[in-house]
């Protein structure tokens, strides 16, 4: 591996491990005018399933980037997390998160070879309801409440788990200072007929 790629990988790992010192909290609610519907294009992701406290997820993120580098799978976008259960109803050590790194389609040739809870997969295009979590928002539940309320009031239903894509301030190591997009896959209710 050449030196530039190795240095880039190390930088990505360091930035990513800072992303999820998630003290799941935020302070202001999402304003309905900030919620939009977006069409996500098909994606290929390298992913792993993490189980445990959110604030300890950094090691799993670093491990996923290292596994990618070992197999010459290079990141092509921001880190994202799909939250597979609700921490309000379970203890922290049982939180499940799918950590995703956007990669190129050529990585699909390694699908099924990377381990029991780690793999590469293609994700189909989908519509998502999106809002932005700005730095210093602390009332995290109000962001979700506003997003789910907007979805219901605008004739949509959810089709998949919530995803968070981290956009900026990841080096701060302070989740409350990070900006992210919170996305929920949706489908217009009338489309189901």
**Maximum alpha-carbon separation in the chain:** 55
Q: How many CA atoms lie within 13 A of 88 on its CB side?
A: 4
Give the CA distances from residue 82 to residues 100, 155, 164, 185, in Å, rounded to whole numbers and listed in that order. 8, 23, 6, 11
Locus of tokens 């080096």: 171
Locus of tokens 């539940």: 141
Tokens matching residue 34: 């900030």
pLDDT at residue 170 above 80? Answer: no
Locus of tokens 């210093």: 136
Class of the domain covering 3-192: alpha beta
Tell me the pLDDT tens digit for each residue of 18-66: 333 333 333 334 455 689 999 999 999 999 999 998 888 888 988 999 9
Count the neighbouring beta carbons within 10 Å of the beta carbon of residue 121: 15
Domain boundaries, the chain: 3-192
Answering whether pTM is above 0.85, one says: no
C-alpha of 38 from chain center: 16
């Amino acid at each position: 591996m050449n030196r530039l790629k190795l240095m880039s990988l190390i930088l990505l790992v360091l930035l990513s491990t800072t992303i999820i010192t998630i003290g799941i909290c935020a302070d202001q609610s999402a304003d309905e005018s900030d919620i939009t519907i977006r069409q996500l294009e098909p994606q290929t992701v390298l992913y792993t399933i993490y189980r445990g406290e959110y604030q300890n997820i950094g090691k799993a993120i670093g491990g996923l980037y290292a596994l990618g580098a070992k197999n010459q799978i290079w990141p092509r976008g921001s880190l994202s997390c799909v939250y597979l259960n609700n921490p309000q109803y379970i203890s922290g050590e049982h939180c499940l998160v799918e950590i995703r790194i956007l990669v190129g389609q050529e990585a699909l040739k390694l699908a099924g070879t990377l381990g029991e809870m780690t793999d590469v997969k293609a994700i189909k295009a989908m519509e998502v309801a999106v809002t932005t979590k700005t730095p210093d928002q602390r009332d995290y539940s109000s962001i979700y409440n506003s997003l789910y309320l907007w979805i219901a009031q605008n004739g949509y239903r959810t089709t998949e788990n919530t995803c968070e894509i981290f956009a900026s301030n990841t080096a701060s190591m302070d989740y409350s200072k990070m900006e992210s997009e919170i996305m929920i896959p949706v489908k217009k209710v009338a489309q189901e007929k």
